[in-house]
Structure 1
Amino acid sequence: MSVRQYGTVGELMQWTRELADAPYRSYLYSYPHKTAYQPIEPAIPLSKLWEAEQADSYFLYMHIPFCAVRCGFCNLFTLPDRRADVHKEYVDALERQAEQWAEFMHGKPWARFAIGGGTPTLLEPRQLERLFHIAENILGLNPQQASISVEASPDTVTQERLQILRAHHVDRVSMGIQSFVEAESAAIYRPQKPSLVEAALEKLTAFQFPLLNLDLIYGLPGQTVQSWLYSVERALSYEPGELFIYPLYTREHTIVKPEQIMEQGEDIRLQCYYAARDLLLSRGYEQFSMRRFARPAAIGAKQVLHYSCQEEGMVGLGCGARSYTRGVHYASRYGVSRAATQSIIADYVSAESYRSADYGFILNEAEQRRRFLLKALLHKEGLVLDAYEQRFGTRVLEDLPQLERLLATGLALVESGNLSLSDEGMAYSDAIGDWLISDAVREQMEGYVVV
């Protein structure tokens, strides 16, 4: 590769600095981004869509769009609503949807099952129990061969709910803590006291789920590197098998505004990232992405069927959930404001049929290639170049020659037939992911109005 082809050394160094300072829109846990979704006309019958799906196993996801309160950083599809009757109506609709979708799942096994939100454990125990009934009795989930994950919040962790999770062989419980410092939690409008978090963690660890995941956020208003590391140390004291560290971003309709985190600056966020990364590596954790760190013993706690995140076969039940086949991604409409989410949930609950995809994104071959790359490159394992070539019949560096710039700047490297981010590249993976969004997807994202 000729560096000159992509600019002088000085120009490449400047580009690297600009990339590092880029105001990331968000991180890409999927591609295309949900704000690129549009109405699909005519709507596609799901029986036809899933009949053509090539995945050997599926990932079942259920979305519970309710929380006790909306955190200041949140722009997920969730509604602050504690009412038990509202929750029951929603689970009733979820069951109707599952009954209809079971008709065209064709008996393929489930390798993973996750319940997210929102806060699934906000549901009363009876409704929480029903979610597992839907997965097991209607959709045929075998809990002995699937990895099962459930999200929780400190204020919803009770003995009865944890007993339900244990009875249904949940092997991963994920809890968002964000900070052990009360003032930092208050700054992001998360009314939780450290004593509540500690009590919830004591209950969780007593149940000894195979994998405990904890989430923390850095870059909070008023946070320092020292206070950030205090939260990391407190989390580590409970010996979680997995720890996710997230930088704080603000987006449309979030309560925390950009000016509140701009005061902190990008430097403090990078300092927090590197400080936590070095600490976690020194404690025996392995880094799998910019966010995910796990202890080797915690990986693969259950022998489950194979499922690759680069593949499709993602079945999303519930309002706000997304489903992925190779050629089509689809979902319900997306909203953040209270009025928008209430309206979308009301439409979902009152619907009689869930048998077609009428909103989403149809991936042409170029977007399928880009998705395959991004789902691999932004994680430690990187992209196996032969796997890309076998799937698409082309070479990724020819399809996306801009990748050469990552190699020229040392943000990525090729070793033993594998294209992966370097340590520095991993620190900037959000900006790299954003930079690799196609022009067509970018145009649709920028034209999207979040309500």
Structure 2
Amino acid sequence: MKPLYSAPKAVYIHIPFCTNKCYYCDFNSYVLKGQPVMDYLDGLEREMELTVKSMPPGEIETIFVGGGTPTVLLPDQMAHFLKLVRTYFPERQAELEFSMEANPGTTDLEKLAAMKEGGVNRISFGVQSFDNALLETIGRIHNTDDVYRSLENAAKLGFDNMSIDLMFGLPKQTPEIMQKTLDEALALDLKHYSIYSLKVEENTLFHTMYNKNQLPLPSEDEELEMYLLIMRRLKQAGYEMYEISNFAKPGYESRHNRTYWRNEPYYGLGAGAHGYAGGFRHVNIKGVQPYINKTKEAMPHLERFEVTREEAMEDFMMVGLRLLEGVRDEDFRAQFGISIEEKFGPIVTSLTSKGLLEIAGDRLRLTERGILFGNDVFAAFL
């Protein structure tokens, strides 16, 4: 575990533009039409400059560009943006993991080439499903043909570290539909799969529909059946479930996301981005124009607060237990000077007695049952 106050070695950058707003999405994103994209990139440059002056980076190990949909940037905008990233975070190493989220409906050869030239070496495609009717139901702009074309174009350009996101628990989705999606997904033989359950969030179209009893969600039993199916199929196909929603071939786990799950520091840049550095967490201003305006005078923080020792210990357990390898007492002691038992003994005892946690060597980790009730486990440490 890295020291709590070391310089971040991970960078998250937010591109808040999308072609449209998916019905389930509560991320900080805005429909692209009419947006001041180049002004936003100029604002990002100002924030990058202020950030590296206030806290110079260590050797950067991971960069992750998320959204929104970063691939709505035009090829020349993409090239300009990636040049900025190289300028302000220049300590590149051969093993650098440089990920970018992509929508299969917004990636062509020219754009992918600009990404490749700019240093991106890992792409995470937001596929969600291989059922076209379901894609339309959730407001996605792409279809399965776009997925295959995007993956083929990326492979042509030499991208070999690719991941796709899938979702389960979607409206009108059945275990049979999930089975077919897994058939098509696994036939691609990719290095990594992220598979998340739908959460109906406030300020989304789905939330409005849910409150009007117009959202035909699967039952809890059907959703559980899908999750068990996902775990079984991915394991049979040779993928390690290394986090409760993520599966990878050996050596292809998301190193950037491990930064979050290990509660390590990271830079967070862009409208609405979160960051964690120097013992402080911050959230940036969310609106595009307010963000741009603020970068002209100061850091564009909406709020910034010190993480207390108590909060840091809770965060360590909650995010660390998402990893199937669990947490090590040695790492906890290195950060906080006491053992997990000293701080959380009664909670650990209760969760182990319920069969949700287990001690495996020097680690505390979720049991198979604990994986299914992960949110209950994490909440126990608050």
> Structure 1 residue 360: deviation in Å?
3.5
The 3-state SS of whatever aligns with 1:288 is: strand
User: Do the aligned residues in 2 keep the contact of 1:320 with 1:331 (CA within 8 Å)?
Assistant: yes
Of residues 436, 443, 448 in structure 1, which corresponds to 2:380?
436
Partner Cα distance (1:396, 1:326) in 2:
23
Name the counterpart of 2:232: 278
Name the counterpart of 1:318: 270
Stretches of structure 1 lacking an aligned partner (at least 5 in a row) = 1-51, 335-343, 439-451
Name the counterpart of 2:190: 240
Partner Cα distance (1:354, 1:228) in 2:
47
> Structure 1 residue 298: deviation in Å?
3.1
Q: In the superposition, relative to structure 1, how do residues 88 and 358 fare at CA in structure 2: closer, same or farther (>3 Å)?
A: closer
Partner Cα distance (1:281, 1:65) in 2:
35
Matches within 5 A, 1:298-313: 298-299=252-253, 309-313=261-265
Matches within 5 A, 1:25-424: 54-55=5-6, 57-83=8-34, 86-142=36-92, 144-257=94-207, 258=210, 259=213, 263-299=217-253, 309-334=261-286, 344-351=287-294, 352-355=296-299, 357=301, 359-400=303-344, 401-424=346-369
> Structure 1 residue 144: deviation in Å?
2.9
> Structure 1 residue 431: deviation in Å?
3.5
> Structure 1 residue 286: deviation in Å?
0.4
Per-residue CA distance 1:113-137 (angstroms, 9 max, x = gap): 1111011110111111122211111
The 3-state SS of whatever aligns with 2:205 is: coil
User: Do the aligned residues in 1 keep the contact of 2:242 with 2:253 (CA within 8 Å)?
Assistant: no
> Structure 1 residue 214: deviation in Å?
0.3
User: Do the aligned residues in 1 keep the contact of 2:285 with 2:291 (CA within 8 Å)?
Assistant: no
Per-residue CA distance 1:50-94 (angstroms, 9 max, x = gap): xx97325521111000100111111001111234x6211111111
User: Do the aligned residues in 2 keep the contact of 1:53 with 1:326 (CA within 8 Å)?
Assistant: yes
- Name the TM-score, length of structure 1 as normaliser: 0.77
> Structure 1 residue 245: deviation in Å?
0.7
For residue 363 of structure 1, what is the amino acid of its counterpart? V
User: Do the aligned residues in 1 keep the contact of 2:23 with 2:138 (CA within 8 Å)?
Assistant: yes
| Bigger mean CA deviation after superposition, 69-78 or 143-152 | 143-152
User: Do the aligned residues in 2 keep the contact of 1:176 with 1:215 (CA within 8 Å)?
Assistant: yes
Partner Cα distance (1:273, 1:174) in 2:
21
User: Do the aligned residues in 2 keep the contact of 1:176 with 1:216 (CA within 8 Å)?
Assistant: yes
Partner Cα distance (2:260, 2:217) in 1:
40
> Structure 1 residue 276: deviation in Å?
1.1
> Structure 1 residue 191: deviation in Å?
3.4
Per-residue CA distance 1:84-105 (angstroms, 9 max, x = gap): x621111111111112222223
Q: In the superposition, relative to structure 1, how do residues 300 and 122 fare at CA in structure 2: closer, same or farther (>3 Å)?
A: closer
For residue 28 of structure 2, what is the amino acid of its counterpart? F
Partner Cα distance (1:72, 1:431) in 2:
27
> Structure 1 residue 346: deviation in Å?
1.2
Per-residue CA distance 1:203-236 (angstroms, 9 max, x = gap): 2233342311100000111111111111111111
| Bigger mean CA deviation after superposition, 56-65 or 215-224 | 56-65
| Bigger mean CA deviation after superposition, 201-210 or 354-363 | 354-363
For residue 314 of structure 1, what is the amino acid of its counterpart? Y
Q: In the superposition, relative to structure 1, how do residues 371 and 429 fare at CA in structure 2: closer, same or farther (>3 Å)?
A: same
> Structure 1 residue 176: deviation in Å?
0.7
Partner Cα distance (2:272, 2:151) in 1:
28
Q: Percent identical across equivalent pairs?
A: 26
Q: In the superposition, relative to structure 1, how do residues 207 and 261 fare at CA in structure 2: closer, same or farther (>3 Å)?
A: farther
Partner Cα distance (1:267, 1:71) in 2:
26
The 3-state SS of whatever aligns with 1:226 is: helix
User: Do the aligned residues in 1 keep the contact of 2:333 with 2:339 (CA within 8 Å)?
Assistant: yes
Stretches of structure 2 lacking an aligned partner (at least 5 in a row) = none
The 3-state SS of whatever aligns with 1:270 is: helix
Q: In the superposition, relative to structure 1, how do residues 148 and 378 fare at CA in structure 2: closer, same or farther (>3 Å)?
A: same
The 3-state SS of whatever aligns with 2:243 is: coil
User: Do the aligned residues in 2 keep the contact of 1:219 with 1:247 (CA within 8 Å)?
Assistant: yes
> Structure 1 residue 300: deviation in Å?
8.1
> Structure 1 residue 427: deviation in Å?
2.2
User: Do the aligned residues in 2 keep the contact of 1:289 with 1:426 (CA within 8 Å)?
Assistant: no
Q: In the superposition, relative to structure 1, how do residues 287 and 374 fare at CA in structure 2: closer, same or farther (>3 Å)?
A: same
For residue 361 of structure 2, what is the amino acid of its counterpart? S
- Name the TM-score, length of structure 2 as normaliser: 0.91
Per-residue CA distance 1:327-385 (angstroms, 9 max, x = gap): 21101245xxxxxxxxx211111221233755044321110111111221111120101
The 3-state SS of whatever aligns with 1:323 is: strand
